[in-house]
């Protein structure tokens, strides 16, 4: 993911963007730096991670 793909230019990302961030976070060894580098809030991330973990849920 490059700087033009981050959520900083669009505060509300799509489900696909959030899934990509979640996938990237899972493989990241630097937890705090992950959020700083991407300028995303931890609470927003956790809410999206929870939404994405529920199977067969219609995400808009």
Q: Closest Cα to residue 12, out of 37, 41, 34?
A: 41
Extents of the domains making up the chain = 13-53
State whether residue 16 is helix, strand or coil.
helix
What is residue 8's predicted lDDT score, i.e. its pLDDT? 47
The whole-number average pLDDT for the span 2-20 is 65
pLDDT at 50 over 60: yes
**Given pLDDT bands bounded at 50, 70 and 90, which one contains residue 59?**
low
The whole-number average pLDDT for the span 41-53 is 88
**Given pLDDT bands bounded at 50, 70 and 90, which one contains residue 33?**
confident
| pTM for this prediction | 0.45
8 Å CB contact between 7 and 13: yes
């Amino acid at each position: 993911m490059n700087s033009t793909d981050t959520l900083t230019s669009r505060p509300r990302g799509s489900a696909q963007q959030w899934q990509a961030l979640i996938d990237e976070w899972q493989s990241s060894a630097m937890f705090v730096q992950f959020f700083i580098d991407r300028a995303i809030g931890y609470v927003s991330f956790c809410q999206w991670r929870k939404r994405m973990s529920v199977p067969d849920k219609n995400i808009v």
